[in-house]
Amino acid sequence: MDILKITQPEALSQDVESDIEMSDNENEVTGNSLVTPGELVTDDPVWMKGHGTYFLDNKTYSSVAGSVSRVNRLLSVIPLRGRYQPETGDHVVGRITEVGPKRWKVDIGGKQDAVLMLGSVNLPGGVLRRKSESDELQMRNFLKEGDLLNAEVQSIFSNGSASLHTRSLKYGKLRNGIFLKVPSNLIIKSKNHSFDLPGNISIILGVNGYIWLYKTPSSGRKNNINASSNKAQASFDAKGGYNPGQGSVSITRLEEESSWEIYSDKNDPNITGSVRKNIASYYNIIKALSHGELGITEQRIIMGYEASLAYGNSGSLIEKEAMESICEDVLNSEKMRGDAS
Amino acid sequence: MILSPAERSYLYDSLAKDELIRPDARADYQFRPIEVKTSFLPSSNGSARVRLTDGSEIITSIKSKVVLAAEEKSLIECDIDIPGFRDDSNFVANLKYNMTSLLNKSFPFESLKLTSKYAFKLFIDCVVISYSSFPLTFISIACYLALKSTKLPKLISDVNDEETAEQPLFSDDWENAQYLGDLNDSKSFNPPLIIVIGVVGKNLLFDPSAEEEQVLENGIIISWYNNDISTPIHNLNFSVHSNMPNYKGLSQQMIMKSILMARKHCANIVKALDQAIEEQTDDGVIF
């Protein structure tokens, strides 16, 4: 392994045609074609102007680089890159930036910070718990600036900013792992955004391109952790060894798990070296996929992991050639399985 | 950059382990890969650009001037510019101080000598276009590459001008220009380098990334010149934009250990840089 790997800027392999063929028939809006900012999309005034376009002298131009989309008479250009645009139901990962009156501000990589209302989180004590003034006063004990959490987009305000909620056991504060960012357009929306990966690792692929890699929580984890540094939590910790409904799904589970533990900052004390190494490998694989501009899915990450096993030391995966070969391997094995899209 | 307490403790535990595990699985002595281009600015004597995959980018340009050697305090002037920071801000002044003191203490000044009275003076300008972690190592790498690729016009007048009042005369053919290293037949021209080393627990790590900087207990700067450790050597808080809550004192052993580590690996860094210069092609590809 090189101590310092040095490369040179590469020449573009394909020759760029200097004269672009201008189509004679500019009245037609070309379907699904790529346009650049300032490019004429159509001079037919019947089209309605949507996002990513502007209108001058009865002609519609693109204001972003992206693909043209037509829905009935609405013409818009969907940008190739750009900030994340939240949509209701998205599973996102975010970082608290501000603690305000009855709400937290959360950075989710969008144009504006999202809002997480005090009423949209599970508070210690379970479902029957009512919010009180004391909760407002101790909001920093739940979530403070810098904390990472995963949440769902509950609704979108008229200005495009999002309101989040964490009212489910799968949402909440993140522990036992590392955070990384990729462009949000690389994350493909699917039914599920949290997966268990080979090697005792779990991942949350936020739709906003924020990713959390962590050790797969063991089912008996609850009993190992006693992160009690807070006075208020003492009363909830008093229940001792017996946990009703443990190992089965019960209606009271929310109540048990919504103890102060869900807001603990303490990591699992037994994260082994091999788990940490696997997390680092997955970190590099996701970076490699993002370098190759490949959409990031559970399957591709697992295929990338299998391809990366050929490298004795995953530290060499940060080199450009290795990243490109991982991407090629992923695409090849997709072709072999016949599920290339 | 703010990390959450859980992230911070995970990162610290990984880095402080006996067998350290960096978040991107790098070895403790491994640098992040860089992309390098030299001699691409047509109007300067030497230039270099260093880019990292995270978008960090540093451009260095070197210009020269003929001066009366006796009238100059130093034959090298180094300036660092970081968009968004005032030149007299702590951050920029600190980087500039380190580079200036490095170049003034460890530089083969004899290779700048023209005649008995005149010498070249070098003006080194670094622009840090973008950075994520403490940029000093990459600034010094960019300076190294730019100095190595600096070309100066060929002197055609007499070297011995103590008696005459004549100014030096240069060949007007730029094809005759010589590399700074070939001037005055100095045996090998090796500009100095600065290495940034992070300290976590009993571990040392080269080239800490922005996340790693957040959990460092201390940072050490070590200089390398002519195949040996040089000055400045000192410690520093790398994470300028947020508090380093782990920041502690530095034990003597760690300083010794870091010097040993630098001694073991720096020759390979210089070798990699020299090889990169040899491999540079003049194809006009900049981006």
Helices A298-308 & A320-337 angle (0-180, nearest 10):
120
pLDDT class of A339 with cuts at 50, 70, 90? low
Choose the final residue of a domain: A174, A206, A241.
A174
pLDDT class of A117 with cuts at 50, 70, 90? very high
**How much of chain A exceeds pLDDT 70, in percent?**
79
pLDDT at A240 over 60: no
Q: Is residue B283 part of a domain?
A: no
Helix locations, chain B, DSSP H: 5-16, 90-105, 136-148, 210-215, 252-279
Contact yes or no for A175 and B35 at CB 8 A: no
More reliable by pLDDT, A288 or A263: A288
Q: B88 Cβ partners below 8 Å, 6+ apart?
A: none
Per CB-CB distance under 8 Å, the chain A contacts of B283 are: 11
pLDDT class of A135 with cuts at 50, 70, 90? confident
Q: Is residue B59 part of a domain?
A: yes
Q: Is residue B285 part of a domain?
A: no
- The number of distinct structural domains making up chain A is 3
Containing structural domain, residue B19: 5-278
Yes or no: say if B262 and B229 are a contact pair by the CB < 8 Å rule.
yes
Q: Is residue A277 part of a domain?
A: yes
Q: Is residue A144 part of a domain?
A: yes
What is the residue-wise DSSP string for A183-234?
-GGGBPP-S--EEEETTTEEEEE-TTSEEEEEEPPPTTHHHH------GGGH
Query: How far is B179 from chain A, CA to nearest CA, in Å?
Result: 21
Are A183 and A329 in the same domain?
A: yes
Contact yes or no for A179 and B22 at CB 8 A: no
**How much of chain A exceeds pLDDT 90, in percent?**
45
Choose the final residue of a domain: A141, A174, A207.
A174
Q: Chain B 23-52, CB below 8 Å of chain A: which residues?
A: 23-27, 29-37
B193-to-A251, B3, B160, B185 alpha-carbon distances in Å:
64, 31, 33, 22
Q: Is residue A17 part of a domain?
A: no
Q: Is residue A15 part of a domain?
A: no
Query: How far is B56 from chain A, CA to nearest CA, in Å?
Result: 15
Backbone angles phi, psi at A83, to 5 degrees: -75, 160
Q: Is residue A158 part of a domain?
A: yes
For residue B186, the SS3 value is: coil
Q: Is residue A27 part of a domain?
A: no
Are A113 and A212 in the same domain?
A: no
Location of structure tokens 């972003």 = A64
More reliable by pLDDT, B149 or A17: B149
Containing structural domain, residue A183: 176-218+270-340
Mean pLDDT to the nearest integer, A257-264 = 74
Could you tell me if A156 lies within 8 Å of chain B, comparing CB atoms? no
pLDDT class of A237 with cuts at 50, 70, 90? very low
- The number of distinct structural domains making up chain B is 1
Are A62 and A164 in the same domain?
A: no
Q: In this structure, what DSSP letter does residue B220 have? A: E
Of A3, A276, A287, the CB nearest to B265: A3
More reliable by pLDDT, A138 or A132: A138
Are A102 and A206 in the same domain?
A: no
Per CB-CB distance under 8 Å, the chain A contacts of B30 are: 1-4, 315
pLDDT class of A28 with cuts at 50, 70, 90? low
Tokens of A67: 């693909």
pLDDT at A238 over 50: no
Best to test chain B binding among A1, A6, A145 (most B CBs inside 10 Å)? A6
Could you tell me if A265 lies within 8 Å of chain B, comparing CB atoms? yes
Could you tell me if B2 lies within 8 Å of chain A, comparing CB atoms? yes
Per CB-CB distance under 8 Å, the chain B contacts of A4 are: 30-31, 33-34, 268-269, 272-273
pLDDT class of A15 with cuts at 50, 70, 90? low
Are A294 and A194 in the same domain?
A: yes
Q: Is residue A126 part of a domain?
A: yes
Are A141 and A208 in the same domain?
A: no
Of A145, A267, A319, the CB nearest to B33: A319
Splitting chain B (287 residues) into consecutive groups of 10 residues, what average pLDDT does each group show?
88 92 92 92 93 92 92 92 92 93 89 88 95 93 94 86 81 86 73 93 92 90 91 82 75 92 92 90 75
The residue ranges of DSSP E strands in chain B, in sequence order, are 34-38, 46-52, 57-68, 76-81, 118-130, 151-152, 178-179, 193-200, 203-206, 218-225, 228-236
Q: Is residue B130 part of a domain?
A: yes
CATH number at residue A143: 2.40.50.140
Q: Is residue A143 part of a domain?
A: yes
What own/partner pairs with CB < 8 Å and gap ≥ 24 does A165-172 have?
A165/A116, A165/A117, A165/A120, A165/A121, A166/A116, A166/A120, A166/A121, A166/A122, A167/A120, A167/A121, A167/A122, A169/A122, A169/A253, A169/A254, A169/A257, A170/A194, A172/A121, A172/A122, A172/A262, A172/A263
Could you tell me if A147 lies within 8 Å of chain B, comparing CB atoms? yes
CATH number at residue A45: 2.40.50.100
More reliable by pLDDT, A15 or B28: B28
Of A68-77, A217-226, B55-64, which one has max mean pLDDT? B55-64
Query: How far is B286 from chain A, CA to nearest CA, in Å?
Result: 6
Query: How far is B98 from chain A, CA to nearest CA, in Å?
Result: 22
Tens-digit pLDDT profile for residues A89-108 = 999 999 999 999 999 999 99
Pairing of strands A172-173, A177-181: unpaired
For residue B286, give the chain A residue with the closest CA: A9
pLDDT class of A229 with cuts at 50, 70, 90? very low
Helix locations, A129-176, DSSP H: 133-137, 139-142
Tokens of B76: 């090298």
Of B2, B17, B34, the CB nearest to A146: B2
pLDDT at A17 over 80: no
Are A214 and A315 in the same domain?
A: yes
Are A121 and A164 in the same domain?
A: yes
Q: Is residue B286 part of a domain?
A: no
Are A75 and A86 in the same domain?
A: no
CATH number at residue B132: 3.30.230.70
Question: Could you report the predicted ipTM of this complex, rounded to two decimals?
Answer: 0.90
Per CB-CB distance under 8 Å, the chain A contacts of B286 are: 9
Are A197 and A94 in the same domain?
A: no
Could you tell me if A283 lies within 8 Å of chain B, comparing CB atoms? yes
Are A150 and A89 in the same domain?
A: yes
